């Protein structure tokens, strides 16, 4: 990940220089700008962004409006963490500050893989190393070393790849998931995700309750022992929090509805779960984990329902559900994500983990999460700025 660290470090340097107004004229970019990005025929997910444009909007908001000291401290800590030595493989590569970064999940019959396009010049074309591939307009960085078949598949995909001129807006980002268009709106005090409006396929999802999230899954590149999780095609979750029981074991309170391609895939998933977790007590209709009992219910030929309190969530042999044409839905109370009852001393221990503290703070500063009119909206309380709170949360993932 050295290249990503170098890129992130470069952008942070731009931020620091801007705060001293050294680059004020350079960052006076128009709200709308165009750049070229690669387009593959077999991309399952695609997202592109102009880093300098995003940095500009974040800096302007934070410096001229919120003036949040905690954000500046978060940037400082992130820069210290990401600072690294130059990657010798890319000694001749020069990043194009005016170009667009793009992330791809490439569909592959053997195994999907992901890569990031980084615009620039000076590099050779072809494989620079096991993780870098150079083209005339920049390089592709792979999050994992590809297998031989994946390398061949990528090389063939390049023959059909084309560069497309795309319009970028500072606070509106368009991307694609399984061929469907989405738009991410970056507002002053909120994030909003506009969903495709012409999706007609109905899917079964849980009736929203607690903190709810329904979405298609595209898990890939998991460790070999967890490959079976990649067979999950969609999931619907209601999460209610967790607690420590009398033996100080973790007990989760949730409902989950998992969707598979067919009956055979579901059966293989359950069999793999038992092999991966042999210490759990498995039965046809339940599994016992750390003294906690979770019900298992097969629904139709493609779905598996799991819940922590079957007497509460399953009534007359069924659970609360509904059909929907929304590909993604999110709503409810996000503070449930870090809720832990009967924690005692464990609560103090959890506060020592930056990622837990970051999610807890971000959730507490949230005013409302909802999905209405094909739009998911995550709204913060009015005294908090979306860019700054996101940066604080991001900084927790890089803390050592």
Mean local confidence (pLDDT), 376-385: 93
> Does 347 score more than 80 pLDDT?
no
- For residue 23, what pLDDT is reported? 46
Picking from 18-27, 159-168, 215-224, which range would have the lowest pLDDT averaged per residue?
Answer: 18-27
Domain boundaries in the chain?
2-188+387-398, 203-382
Average per-residue pLDDT in the chain? 85
pLDDT digits (tens, 9 = 90+) for 270-329: 999 999 999 999 999 999 998 889 999 999 999 999 999 999 999 999 999 999 888 899
- For residue 399, what pLDDT is reported? 58
- For residue 64, what pLDDT is reported? 66
CA distance 364 to 366: 5
Q: Which residue has the higher pLDDT, 83 or 2?
A: 83
CA distance 234 to 261: 10
- For residue 246, what pLDDT is reported? 80
With beta carbons less than 8 A apart as the criterion, state whether 94 and 36 touch.
no
pLDDT digits (tens, 9 = 90+) for 246-277: 877 889 999 999 999 999 999 999 999 999 99
């Amino acid at each position: 990940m050295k290249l990503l660290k170098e890129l992130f470090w470069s952008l942070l340097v731009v931020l620091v220089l801007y705060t001293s107004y050294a680059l004020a004229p350079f960052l006076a970019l128009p709200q709308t700008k165009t750049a070229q990005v690669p387009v593959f025929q077999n991309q399952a997910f695609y997202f592109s962004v102009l880093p300098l444009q995003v940095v500009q909007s974040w800096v302007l908001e934070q410096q001229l409006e919120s003036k949040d000291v905690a954000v500046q401290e978060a940037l400082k800590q992130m820069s210290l963490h990401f600072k690294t030595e130059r990657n010798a493989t890319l000694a001749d590569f020069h990043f194009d500050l005016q170009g667009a970064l793009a992330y791809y999940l490439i569909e592959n019959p053997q195994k999907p893989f992901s890569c990031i396009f980084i615009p620039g010049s000076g590099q050779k074309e072809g494989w620079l190393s096991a993780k870098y591939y150079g083209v005339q307009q920049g390089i592709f960085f792979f999050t994992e070393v590809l297998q031989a078949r994946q390398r061949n598949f990528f090389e063939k995909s390049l023959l059909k790849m084309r560069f497309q001129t795309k319009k970028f807006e500072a606070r509106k980002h368009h991307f694609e998931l399984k061929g469907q268009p989405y738009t991410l709106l970056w507002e002053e005090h909120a994030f909003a995700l506009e969903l495709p409006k012409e999706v007609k396929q109905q899917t079964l999802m849980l009736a929203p309750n607690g903190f709810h999230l329904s979405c298609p899954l595209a898990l890939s590149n998991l460790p070999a022992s967890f490959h079976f999780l990649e067979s999950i095609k969609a999931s619907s979750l209601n999460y209610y929090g967790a607690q420590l029981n009398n033996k100080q074991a973790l007990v989760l309170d949730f409902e989950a509805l998992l969707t598979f391609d067919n009956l055979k895939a579901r059966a293989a998933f359950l069999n793999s779960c038992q092999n991966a977790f042999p210490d759990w007590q498995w039965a046809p209709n339940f599994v016992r984990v750390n003294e906690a009992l979770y019900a298992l219910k097969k629904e139709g030929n493609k779905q598996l329902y799991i819940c922590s309190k079957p007497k509460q969530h399953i009534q007359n042999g069924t659970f609360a559900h509904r059909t929907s044409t929304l590909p993604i839905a999110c709503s409810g109370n996000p503070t449930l994500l870090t809720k832990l009852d009967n924690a005692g001393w464990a609560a103090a221990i959890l506060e020592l983990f930056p990622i837990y503290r970051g999610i807890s703070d971000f959730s507490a500063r949230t005013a409302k999460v909802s999905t209405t009119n094909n739009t998911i909206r995550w709204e913060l309380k009015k005294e908090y700025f979306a860019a700054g709170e996101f940066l604080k949360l991001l900084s927790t993932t890089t803390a050592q």
